[in-house]
Amino acid sequence: MRNTQQDLLGYTRPELESLLVELGEKPWRAVQVLKWLHHRFATDFEEMTDISKVLRSSFSEIAEIHEPEVLLEQQSADGTRKWLIKSRSGGAVEMVFIPEENRGTLCVSSQVGCALDCSFCSTGKQGFNSDLTAGEIVGQLRIAVKSLAAAYPDRNRVVTNVVFMGMGEPLLNFDNVLAATQIMMDDLGYGISKRKVTISTAGVVPGIRKLADHTDASLAISLHAPNNELRNQLVPINRKYPIESLLSACQEYAGRLGGKRTITVEYTLLEGVNDQPAHAAELARVLKDLPCKINLIPFNSFPGSEYRRPAPFRVSAFQDRLIRAGYGAMVRTTRGDDIDAACGQLVGNVADRTNRQERYRKIAGG
Ligand code: SAH
């Protein structure tokens, strides 16, 4: 269920139009309001000088503009930035910006913690606390756009890509994530192209199927293993939605997107676990019907983790094998190591972790 909140940062254009109609206003006023919220970063309705005093005061009675509070901002030697952002629920999440020559990628969180407990992910070890609201997800982008404008004065757009690869499983916070992506892709919001907003999932198959009816954002899956036996150990939700059902949902999604668009397959390489030549060969076989590109992520360690990162020659050998089999396969270089901003290292502050069991029982049915 979509959180019931009147934080206007989480209102899509159609939602804002209906709210305006309820308030006895013309729906097209949404254009002005959205620009105030996402282009001019208004913090108070009183700033919205081109809308009537009456509307400003109705807004103040029923709604708010709640930009989440930044608790900490860190910058890595390589330019990567990480923010710790407070959630209304009491916990905190992390968000990371990764600058590259021609693009800037913002990695946002969708939940405080995560219920899925993948064996190699530090967020999973934190347990699950709560969903972020749509406004809290959009708020992350708003904070980044605002704060990066000053750091990159010569770039007309600093954040070109958004990936839901921070904390949480986006498809288990479906309605809020969907609303947030719509605002991110709307020209009156942040105008990010649908190809450049990527929702990443550990494999919530019903969520993927439902997503296809509502959006044409890009999709990434966290596969990490080429067979069910291994994937059951690494990504426990695989016991509920095995590889075949995951890949068939992805094929359908890719078919709906049409054109030349592909699904991104993420594969974290764990030494001696899933990094052998036979795994690469099996992966190449299993993905043969999916229009995809493969992102290899050498494991990033965190305190208490039992896995190790494979030696660079193993990573290249794995990549070469996939390339020879005809796949686009990239190795994701580790960024922001010195501030623990790499994949799987985001922990935020998940104060109450007790929600995991109940939530997990609901999803995994066991
Ligand atoms: N829950 C979603 C969003 C998180 S994305 C999903 O699973 O897709 C974060 C990505 O980093 C996922 O592919 C995840 O599997 C990967 N990852 C997690 N922990 C990691 C680690 N310690 N080292 C490298 N990659 C990791």
- pLDDT tens for residues 232-258? 999 999 999 999 999 999 999 999 998
What integer is the mean pLDDT of 321-340? 89
- pLDDT tens for residues 78-100? 999 999 999 999 899 999 999 99
β-pair type (81-86, 92-99)? antiparallel
Q: What is the mean pLDDT of the chain?
A: 92
Of all atoms in ligand 1, which is nearest to the CA of residue 344? Answer: 19
- pLDDT tens for residues 252-290? 999 999 878 999 999 999 999 999 999 999 999 999 999
pLDDT for 354 beyond 70: no
For ligand 1, pick from 108, 177, 222, 300 the residue to mutate: most ligand atoms within 8 Å of CB: 222
pLDDT at 365: 37
Of all atoms in ligand 1, which is nearest to the CA of residue 345? Answer: 22
pLDDT for 30 beyond 70: yes
Of all atoms in ligand 1, which is nearest to the CA of residue 166? Answer: 4
Q: Tell how far the Cα of 165 is from the centroid of ligand 1, in angstroms.
A: 7
The pLDDT confidence band at residue 352, using thresholds 50, 70 and 90, is low
CA distance 357 to 366: 10
pLDDT for 361 beyond 60: no
- pLDDT tens for residues 129-179? 999 999 999 999 999 999 999 888 888 899 999 999 999 999 999 999 999
pLDDT at 353: 54
For ligand 1, pick from 199, 200, 305 the residue to mutate: most ligand atoms within 8 Å of CB: 200
Residues with CB under 6 A from ligand 1: 118, 120-121, 165, 169, 200-202, 222, 266, 268, 297, 299-300, 343-344
The pLDDT confidence band at residue 2, using thresholds 50, 70 and 90, is very low
The pLDDT confidence band at residue 356, using thresholds 50, 70 and 90, is very low
Q: Tell how far the Cα of 93 is from the centroid of ligand 1, in angstroms.
A: 15
Rounded to 5 degrees, what angle do the CA atoms 292, 112, 36 make? 85
pLDDT at 350: 74
Q: At what angle do helices 174-185 and 13-22 cross, to 10 degrees?
A: 100
Pick the residue whose CA is nearest to atom 4 on ligand 1: 165
Pick the residue whose CA is nearest to atom 21 on ligand 1: 344
What integer is the mean pLDDT of 174-194? 97
Q: Tell how far the Cα of 289 is from the centroid of ligand 1, in angstroms.
A: 24
Which sequence positions are flagged as catalytic? Answer: 94, 343
Q: Tell how far the Cα of 342 is from the centroid of ligand 1, in angstroms.
A: 9
Q: Tell how far the Cα of 193 is from the centroid of ligand 1, in angstroms.
A: 23
pLDDT at 320: 98
190: amino acid identity, one letter: Y
pLDDT for 210 beyond 90: yes
What integer is the mean pLDDT of 191-215? 97
For ligand 1, pick from 241, 266, 308 the residue to mutate: most ligand atoms within 8 Å of CB: 266
Q: Tell how far the Cα of 82 is from the centroid of ligand 1, in angstroms.
A: 16
Distances in whole angstroms, Cα of residue 343 to Cα of each of 74, 102, 107, 226, 336: 16, 21, 9, 20, 10
pLDDT for 334 beyond 80: no
Q: What percent of the chain has pLDDT over 70?
A: 94
CA distance 258 to 270: 33
What integer is the mean pLDDT of 192-205? 97
pLDDT at 362: 45
Please list the residues that pair with 266 across neighbouring strands.
Answer: 222, 295
Pick the residue whose CA is nearest to atom 13 on ligand 1: 222
CA distance 95 to 318: 30
pLDDT at 3: 41
Ordered DSSP codes for 91-153: -EEEEEEEE-SS-EEEE---EEE-SS--TT-HHHHT-EEEEPPHHHHHHHHHHHHHHHHHH-T
Q: What percent of the chain has pLDDT over 90?
A: 81
Pick the residue whose CA is nearest to atom 19 on ligand 1: 344
The mean-pLDDT minimum among 36-40, 123-127, 268-272 falls in 123-127
pLDDT at 355: 52
- pLDDT tens for residues 59-72? 999 999 999 999 99
